[in-house]
Structure 1
């Protein structure tokens, strides 16, 4: 009789990048590889941005890990889209490593970042996305406009954050 193998997925842990500075180069590599190399940025500039991450102000970056290995990241920033400098703050740099996609990590990161934005006193967030509109819509985000980014056609989205009632 064949034995049935059961795979138990390790829990996804989300931490402040500020608490795991050794992951700054990983986050910078993911970000630069996904976006920076197309936007006339430098890896060093990208790395400096992640080194500035703080839990008490922006920029703030969160890192998801599974089995103590980094699997994804997300950031909260003052500005992410030069076409709308009047809007702030921004959800940016949502990235999940391809080996760890379709496990709910992206949604966990989005929800946690929304919580962090509320904690810092923000009631609304903005983002642009070229390809993940469905992910954000499923997480309660609304389309505002269609815009042009350095990466192509994109959707400008927003979300009003709900303050939990203490009553």
Structure 2
């Protein structure tokens, strides 16, 4: 498996857009996700989207974004939009994509990385610390997590 920025493999753009829209969106929000994916393909700039590819098959995606939760814009950067193809789940790909974003954020000098999820107990297995609850738009409770990348501030 190879993890690379989507801007180096733009042939997967439509599939990534469809995955994010179907997993995280509403019936009217495909254009919103297409916009996110389009703006996450500039080398050296956030947001960034990464893809996991085996051979020529897209198996997963994840993002490193400035903001993923509008109600908590004080926190950044974010591991966002982690998605594994349904036929590829259970193989540890989520952990590998998380680790890739962790290393990218660490390399950029950030002391912490954040994420939010409606799931509880998944991310703790990978060293994420639950830091409280937040609200996703318009009023959906979510769990907030932090990953410490460095002990320096």
TM-score, with normalisation over the residues of structure 2? 0.89
The secondary structure found in structure 1 opposite 2:70 is coil
Q: Alignment partner for residue 149 of structure 1, among 119, 124, 136?
A: 136
Question: How much has 1:48 moved relative to structure 2?
Answer: 2.0
Once superposed, which parts of structure 1, at least 4 consecutive aligned residues long, lie more than 4 Å away?
none
* 2:8 is the counterpart of 1:19: yes
Give a deviation string over 1:27-51, Cα, whole Å, max 9, x none.
110111111217xx62122112112
Equivalent residue runs for 1:99-110 within 5 Å? 99-110=87-98
The secondary structure found in structure 1 opposite 2:106 is helix
TM-score, with normalisation over the residues of structure 1? 0.82
Equivalent residue runs for 1:78-89 within 5 Å? 78-89=66-77
Equivalent residue runs for 1:11-160 within 5 Å? 12-37=1-26, 42-53=29-40, 54-131=42-119, 133-150=120-137, 152-160=140-148
Question: How much has 1:79 moved relative to structure 2?
Answer: 0.8
Give a deviation string over 1:127-167, Cα, whole Å, max 9, x none.
10112x3331111110000223248432100011148xxxx
Question: How much has 1:65 moved relative to structure 2?
Answer: 1.3
Q: Which runs of 5+ in 2 are unaligned?
A: none
**How many residues were matched structurally?**
149
Q: Is the contact between residue 74 and residue 95 of structure 1 (CA under 8 Å) also seen in structure 2?
A: yes
Question: How much has 1:56 moved relative to structure 2?
Answer: 1.0
Higher-Rg member (1/2):
1
C-alpha distance in structure 1 between counterparts of 2:82 and 2:36, whole Å: 15
